[in-house]
């Protein structure tokens, strides 16, 4: 079936769509224009097919529930491949397949895969419209759910085609839900071809190709060659009572607090302070003409974790998801409203769980899947920064790395310098979460929160980070935080959420050179009294425990970092291993 559309005459695009259609053999092809009319039509179609379930229109106007296949509820790292000619280009932390082998294998799966289905062609832009730094992608998909999510998460439709004009410079993304068989699930990246082929999953980062696949894996590869950074970072702005705005970017692994931090409301003690969200998951960082590092959020919406979101932990998220939101794998109340573990109020006596089964209070099963999510437009966010569409982005004064660690890592620490900051990021570790399939709660190294998202050899990525210092005359200061340290009884020591403002305030003061700090063997930490604890109803000893640095724990930590570095062999930058050795030698 030869392709026709009135939306574009781009020969490269039309030729490629023809080629993909010849392989996938859909019944029909639909080019998406991104209009409200189209959204309504596709939503109605999805409802008629049971792909979307309308929610209580009084409580959640314009909102829908989607239940995914229970075997398809998170990113699948073991099925995610970087396909480069040389295995070494992907490095030891990525799954690798030779491009020819991957294309052959996946052609076998895509062949005839859209028979009886519609092929949607989804043009989208990651980054502000019209910006020379934005990236254009075309995602071909057989999933209406994917189209509707892409419309929220990206600048999608005609605007993207207009921006592309007749150029050949776009990411070619091919996605088919297939039969959702976990044994035939592949997320393959071809950095040299600027292409992504994803088969067998309809979920999140596996299927919304603009997000992790293009903006991070392909993005990081492009960043390496073009001199910028694609990072798994939130971006936020803080305005102090005098009106001065400071921007920070923070990398926390999946389900470790980015959305919450990006939407934070400062505690009452911080009257006159305001936080603004620029982004909650991805940052593209470039050197500005002024020699500072500037950050852009390539996304246009939030694909956020539902469990734990409530009016106390994240009121701005609750407002953001109050309308025009797609919920995936949450539970439903009797009156058709959403529910998840950690939502405000009493646990309802009866629910329909994420699989669509009856659920009773007291059940040992979770009602909502731990990785259940909301897809909400950024424009719903009451504290959205006015700079989200600014092609320059915002200037970054501090970079924060943070993992989920119940021991060892203190509440906050500042690096001695850029290289030491890169070392801190490179050795970051975190307990695994439900955002990816596999065991949860296992501590693993997750450098810069990018372990699953670096599209090339992580040793080269470290070198790229080190090299950035020469490109950035006025670099941000680098910090490490840990909101997740626990006491012996397994209880979080730090209250977290809005109270993280207290730590952020110290970070801002340090970035502006306003306060001194205490030197430790491993980094700068706040002096006694420099973290404002007034109005916080936890004993000071608890905070001491959260900020404590235990030499014995650190000795184990530093020694265990070696095995992680060693796997990179000769490619590993010596600078970072020398910093590790120096820290270790100062201990003994
Ligand atoms: P991805 O979208 O997967 O990249 O996750 P994220 O980094 O945006 O994580 P998010 O903010 O959605 O938080 C994930 C989980 O961590 C939720 O269950 C939160 O309730 C919890 N969480 C977030 N911030 C804090 C905090 O400061 N302290 C504690 N104890 N938990 C937190
Ligand atoms: C993450 O896992 O870091 C996410 C969700 O942000 S997903 O889009 O599935 O990657
Ligand atoms: Mn994420």
Residue 4: per-residue pLDDT: 74
- Strand ranges in 257-388 using DSSP code E only, listed in sequence order: 274-279, 283-287, 293-296, 301-305, 326-328, 331-332, 338-339, 350-352, 358-360, 373-377
Q: Is the CATH code 3.90.228.20 the one for domain 231-300+386-548?
A: yes
Residue nearest to atom 3 of ligand 2 (CA): 254
What value does the mean pLDDT take over residues 145-165?
Answer: 98
CA 511 distance to own-chain centroid: 25
- Strand ranges in 493-561 using DSSP code E only, listed in sequence order: 518-519, 524-525
Q: Ligand 1 pocket test: pick from 253, 257, 446 the residue with the most ligand atoms within 8 Å of its Cβ.
A: 257
Q: Is the CATH code 3.30.1330.10 the one for domain 11-50+73-226?
A: no
**CA of residue 538 to ligand 1 center, whole Å:** 21
Work out the pLDDT band at 221, boundaries 50, 70, 90. Answer: very high
Q: Does residue 400 contact residue 250 with C-beta atoms inside 8 Å?
A: yes
Residue 2: per-residue pLDDT: 61
Q: Does residue 24 contact residue 113 with C-beta atoms inside 8 Å?
A: yes
Work out the pLDDT band at 523, boundaries 50, 70, 90. Answer: very high
CB atoms within 5 A of ion ligand 3 belong to 254, 281
Mean pLDDT (the chain, rounded): 97
**CA of residue 7 to ligand 2 center, whole Å:** 31
What value does the mean pLDDT take over residues 27-40?
Answer: 98
The residue length of the chain stands at: 588
What value does the mean pLDDT take over residues 211-235?
Answer: 98
Distance CA 279, CA 284 (A): 10
Q: Is 255 in the pocket of ligand 1 (CB under 6 A)?
A: yes
Helix/strand/coil for 106:
helix
Distance CA 158, CA 161 (A): 5
Residue nearest to atom 11 of ligand 1 (CA): 257
Distance CA 193, CA 186 (A): 17
Residue nearest to atom 20 of ligand 1 (CA): 308
For domain 302-380, the CATH superfamily is Phosphoenolpyruvate Carboxykinase, domain 2 (2.170.8.10)
587 or 483: whose pLDDT is higher? Answer: 483
Report pLDDT digits (tens) over 357-401: 999 999 999 999 999 999 999 999 999 999 999 999 999 999 999
**CA of residue 253 to ligand 3 center, whole Å:** 7
- Does the annotation count 256 as an active-site position? yes
Closest listed ligand to the CA of 260? 1
Ligand 1 atom with the smallest distance to the CA of 260 is: 11
Ligand 2 atom with the smallest distance to the CA of 435 is: 2
Output DSSP code: residue 378: G
Ligand 2 atom with the smallest distance to the CA of 254 is: 3
133: Cβ–Cβ under 8 A, 6 or more apart, which residues?
A: 127, 284, 286, 296, 391
**CA of residue 582 to ligand 2 center, whole Å:** 36
Residue nearest to atom 22 of ligand 1 (CA): 257
**CA of residue 254 to ligand 3 center, whole Å:** 5
Report pLDDT digits (tens) over 324-359: 999 999 999 999 999 999 999 999 999 999 999 999
DSSP symbols for 408-464: SS-SEEE-SSHHHHHHHHHT-EEE--TTBSS-SS-EEE-GGG-TTT-SS-HHHHHHH
Closest listed ligand to the CA of 74? 2
Domain limits, the chain: 11-50+73-226, 231-300+386-548, 302-380
What value does the mean pLDDT take over residues 554-577?
Answer: 97
Q: Ligand 1 pocket test: pick from 232, 260, 373 the residue with the most ligand atoms within 8 Å of its Cβ.
A: 260
Structure tokens at 61: 């106007």
Structure tokens at 257: 């607090």
Work out the pLDDT band at 588, boundaries 50, 70, 90. Answer: confident
232 or 529: whose pLDDT is higher? Answer: 232
Q: Give percent of the chain above pLDDT 70.
A: 100
Report pLDDT digits (tens) over 238-278: 999 999 999 999 999 999 999 999 999 999 999 999 999 99
Q: Does residue 72 contact residue 201 with C-beta atoms inside 8 Å?
A: yes
Q: Is 341 in the pocket of ligand 1 (CB under 6 A)?
A: no
Output the pTM of the full model: 0.98
Poorest-pLDDT segment among 231-235, 262-266, 536-540: 536-540
**CA of residue 441 to ligand 1 center, whole Å:** 14
What value does the mean pLDDT take over residues 132-153?
Answer: 98
Residue 314: per-residue pLDDT: 98
Partner residues linked to 82 by β-bridges: 96, 189
Q: Ligand 2 pocket test: pick from 72, 75, 234, 438 the residue with the most ligand atoms within 8 Å of its Cβ.
A: 75
């Amino acid at each position: 079936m030869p392709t026709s559309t009135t939306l574009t005459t781009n020969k490269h695009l039309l030729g490629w769509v023809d080629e993909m259609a010849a392989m996938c053999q859909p019944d029909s092809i639909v080019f998406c224009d991104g209009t409200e009319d189209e959204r309504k039509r596709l939503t109605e179609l999805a409802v008629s097919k049971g792909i979307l379930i309308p929610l209580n229109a009084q409580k959640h106007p314009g909102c829908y529930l989607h239940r995914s296949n229970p075997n398809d509820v998170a990113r699948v790292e073991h099925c995610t491949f970087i396909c480069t000619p040389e295995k070494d280009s992907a490095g030891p932390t990525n799954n690798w397949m030779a491009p020819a082998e991957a294309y052959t294998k996946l052609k076998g799966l895509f062949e005839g895969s859209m028979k009886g289905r519609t092929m949607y062609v989804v043009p989208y832009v990651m980054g502000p419209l019209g910006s020379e730094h934005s990236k254009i992608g075309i995602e071909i998909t057989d999933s209406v759910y994917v189209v509707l999510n892409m419309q929220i998460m990206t600048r999608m439709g005609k605007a993207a085609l207009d921006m592309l004009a007749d150029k050949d410079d776009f990411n070619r993304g091919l996605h088919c839900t297939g039969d959702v068989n976990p044994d035939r699930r592949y997320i393959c990246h071809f950095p040299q071809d600027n292409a992504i082929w994803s088969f067998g999953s309809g979920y999140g980062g596996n299927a919304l190709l603009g997000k992790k696949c293009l903006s991070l894996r392909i993005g990081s590869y492009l960043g390496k060659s073009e001199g910028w950074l694609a990072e798994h970072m939130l971006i936020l702005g803080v305005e102090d009572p005098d009106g001065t705005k400071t921007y920070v970017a923070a990398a926390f692994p999946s389900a470790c607090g980015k959305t919450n931090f990006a939407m934070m409301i400062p505690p009452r003690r911080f009257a006159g302070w305001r936080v603004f969200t620029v982004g909650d998951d991805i940052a593209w960082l470039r050197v500005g003409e002024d020699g500072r590092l500037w950050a852009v959020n390539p996304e246009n919406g939030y694909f956020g974790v539902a469990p734990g979101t409530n009016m106390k932990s994240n009121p701005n998220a609750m407002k953001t998801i109050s309308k025009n939101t797609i919920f995936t794998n949450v539970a439903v109340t009797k009156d058709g409203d959403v529910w998840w573990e950690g939502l405000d109020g009493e646990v309802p006596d009866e629910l329909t769980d994420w699989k669509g089964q009856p659920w009773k209070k007291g059940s040992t099963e979770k009602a909502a899947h731990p990785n259940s999510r909301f897809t909400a437009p950024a424009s719903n966010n009451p504290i959205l920064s006015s700079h989200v569409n600014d092609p320059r982005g915002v200037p970054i004064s501090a970079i924060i790395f943070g993992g989920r660690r119940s021991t060892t890592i203190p509440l906050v620490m500042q690096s001695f310098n850029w290289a030491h900051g890169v070392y801190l990021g490179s050795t970051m570790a975190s307990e695994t979460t439900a955002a990816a399939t596999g065991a949860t709660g296992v501590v693993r190294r997750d450098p810069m929160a990018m372990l699953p998202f670096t599209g090339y050899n992580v040793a080269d990525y470290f070198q790229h980070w080190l090299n950035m210092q020469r490109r950035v005359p006025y670099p941000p200061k680098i910090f490490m935080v840990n909101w997740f340290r626990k006491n012996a009884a397994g209880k979080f020591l730090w209250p977290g959420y809005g109270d993280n403002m207290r730590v952020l305030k110290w970070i801002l003061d340090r970035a502006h050179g306003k306060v001194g700090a205490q030197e430790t063997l491993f980094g700068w930490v706040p002096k006694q009294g420099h973290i404002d604890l007034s109005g916080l109803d936890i004993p000071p000893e608890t905070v001491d425990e959260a900020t404590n640095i235990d030499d014995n724990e650190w000795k184990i930590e530093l020694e265990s970092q070696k095995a992680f570095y060693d796997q990179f062999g000769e490619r590993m930058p010596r600078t970072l291993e020398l910093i590790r050795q120096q820290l270790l030698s100062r201990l003994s």
